Amino acid sequence: MEWRPYRLTGHGTRPGTIGTTGTVLPGKTFPCAYCKGTGIQVHMRSQCPVCRGKGFNEVSSAVVCAFCRGSGEAQPRSHITCPACRGKGVIGVKEPIEKCDVCRGLGRVTGSQLPCLKCKGAGVFTVKKR
Number of residues near Zn ion (by CB under 5 A): 18
Strand partners, 99: 124
82 near Zn ion, judged by CB under 5 A: yes
Nearer to Zn ion by Cβ, of 59 and 100: the residue is 100
Is the N-terminal amide bond of 96 cis, ω within 30° of 0? Answer: yes
Residue 97 in contact with Zn ion, rule: CB under 5 A: no
Footprint (CB under 5 A) of Zn ion, residues 12-71:
32, 34-35, 48, 50-51, 65, 67-68
8 counts as binding Zn ion under rule CB under 5 A: no
The 10 Å Cβ neighbour count of residue 94 is 12
Compare residues 4 and 72 and give the one whose CB is closer to Zn ion.
Answer: 72
Please tell me whether residue 103 binds Zn ion under the rule CB under 5 A: yes
Smallest gap, in angstroms, from Cβ of residue 84 to Zn ion?
A: 4
Binding site for Zn ion (CB under 5 A): 32, 34-35, 48, 50-51, 65, 67-68, 82, 84-85, 100, 102-103, 116, 118-119
